[in-house]
């Protein structure tokens, strides 16, 4: 059944893909984004099929106005990108925590029953089990390390959303993506950075470009293209044969793949009464 949604961070990598999918499925969609990392260009093909509000999720009144009239809020706005966790941890926390508070307040003010929140695998930090399921404890290993600003903001967001969900929402879903990749993701994400590093190593090397048979490429390609988990050691490449594929080929092949991971960890209904933490789809 068609619904009306607000997507925060909706011009970002994941948000734009979600907005497009929701619009194509016949839903009404409003997006709020400050376009600090997002861009309306990503949604240019949708023209006027969705409503765009330029705004900062730290502005409580602006968020509440954007929420008014929708049935569901998907909260994706965040300062993403590992380099920013180190260079501006205060902003990461400001956007993460105030954004979550404002979204919850706005939903309560306007009686929105459904809230979907993007957390992150960063909430686990170094998990004691891989693959990591939702029962693995979340952690902030060192408050002095700015690296954990992002994970901490996600941890706080989860705890807030799930606990306000007990009484103030019909349904709260938190999902913890690991590394999502896909078209138009830009370069400020770990997988493109990984691939660019290999490209740079290749260019800096006085040897010829590396073959796709090279273990580093095979490892990255199998992890990225086929989705196989694993550890890949990247080293200066060397020549294997004359029939080489360039890093650009690998990059463009990779960028044509997309995989969106969403795993609701909590679905709760007021009528159901009991928490269903750990529910999976
Ligand atoms: N991409 C991944 O692999 C991944 C992994 C784990 C978690 N996540 C989470 O998923 C969500 C979407 O990630 P993404 O990859 O699309 O990132 P992204 O950076 O492309 O999108 C985030 C969006 O939030 C917007 N934004 C940032 N600060 C804002 C503010 N103060 N007010 C309004 N908008 C603001 C940005 O402009 C951007 O469009 C984020 O919450 C992120 O933490 C993503």
Q: What is the pLDDT of residue 199?
A: 66
Does this model's pTM top 0.85? My answer is: no
For domain 4-175, the CATH class is alpha beta
203 CA from centroid of ligand 1 (Å): 31
At residue 182, the pLDDT reads 77
**pLDDT for position 194:** 72
Instruction: Tell me which of 7, 12, 33 to substitute to probe ligand 1's pocket, judged by most ligand atoms within 8 Å of the beta carbon.
Output: 12
* Start and end residues for every CATH 3.40.50.720 domain found in the chain: 4-175
Nearest atom of ligand 1 to the alpha carbon of 177: 6
Distance in angstroms (rounded) separating the CA atoms of residues 180 and 79:
15
Q: What does the pLDDT read at residue 201?
A: 65
Q: Locate the ligand 1 atom nearest the alpha carbon of residue 39 and give its number.
A: 39
- Atom 23 of ligand 1, residue of closest alpha carbon: 9
Local mean pLDDT, 10-residue blocks, the chain (281 residues)? 95 93 95 97 92 98 98 96 93 98 98 95 88 89 96 97 94 87 77 71 57 49 46 33 36 28 31 27 22
* pLDDT for position 277: 24
């Amino acid at each position: 059944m068609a619904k009306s949604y607000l997507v925060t961070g909706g011009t970002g990598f994941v948000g734009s893909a979600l907005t497009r999918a929701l619009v194509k499925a016949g839903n009404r969609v409003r997006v709020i984004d400050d376009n600090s990392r997002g861009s309306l260009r990503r949604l240019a093909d949708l023209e006027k099929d969705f409503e765009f509000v330029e705004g900062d999720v730290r502005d409580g009144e602006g968020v509440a106005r954007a929420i008014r009239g929708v049935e569901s809020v998907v909260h994706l706005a965040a300062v993403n990108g590992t380099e920013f966790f180190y260079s501006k941890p205060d902003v990461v926390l400001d956007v993460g925590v105030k954004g979550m508070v404002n979204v919850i307040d706005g939903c309560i003010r306007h009686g929105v029953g459904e809230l979907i929140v993007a957390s992150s695998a960063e909430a686990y930090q170094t998990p004691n089990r891989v693959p990591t399921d939702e029962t693995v404890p979340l952690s902030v290993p060192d408050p002095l390390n700015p690296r954990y600003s992002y994970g901490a903001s996600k941890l706080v967001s989860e705890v807030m959303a799930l606990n306000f969900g007990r009484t103030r929402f019909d349904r709260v879903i938190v999902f913890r993506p690991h590394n999502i990749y896909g078209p138009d993701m830009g370069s400020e994400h770990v997988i493109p950075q990984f691939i660019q590093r290999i490209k740079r190593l290749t260019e800096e090397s006085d040897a010829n470009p590396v073959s796709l048979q090279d273990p580093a490429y095979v490892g990255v390609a199998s992890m990225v293209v086929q989705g196989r988990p694993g550890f890949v050691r990247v080293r200066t490449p060397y020549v294997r044969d004359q029939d080489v594929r360039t890093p650009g080929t690998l990059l463009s092949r990779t960028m044509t793949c997309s995989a969106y991971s969403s795993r609701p960890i909590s679905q709760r209904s007021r009528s159901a009464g009991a928490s269903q933490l750990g529910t999976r789809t």
